[in-house]
Amino acid sequence: MARRKHYNFYDDHFKATAVALTKIKGVKAVDVAEALCIHPVMLYRWCMETRNGDLMAKKKAINIDPKMRSELKRLQKLEREHNLLKQEHDLLKKAIQFSLDRKKKSLNSSTPKEDDTH
């Protein structure tokens, strides 16, 4: 198995900013990781290191751009609405198919069969 020759190293400020983004209400860590092009496990590890005090021993105030914060919240809201609409759409498709199947069965059973006796 080949080893990677190049690794991405992130400074403490980047890590602390990423962790701060996960603490925004309604924002998922997975989405933050995807937006930052990092693996979610790495972000979870940074969160754990922050809780343990290993990351950013000298804590500085991390300022998150208000525009970015509002965009993340808007994205989360749109994703929730989209998932809800997909579920509703799937339910409607199933209901329509169920209705068509019942109608087809009732039509097949209500047609009189001819007697073969002559």
User: pLDDT tens, 34-50?
Assistant: 888 899 999 999 999 88
Please tell me which residue, 89 or 54, carries the higher pLDDT value.
89
Highest mean pLDDT of the ranges 2-6, 20-24, 89-93, 111-115: 89-93
Return the SS3 of 40.
Answer: helix
pLDDT over threshold 60, residue 1 = no
pLDDT at 109: 75
Instruction: Look up residue 99 and give its amino acid.
Output: S
Query: How does residue 90 score in pLDDT terms, banded at 50, 70 and 90?
Result: very high
Helix residue spans in 5-118 (DSSP H): 12-22, 29-35, 40-52, 66-110
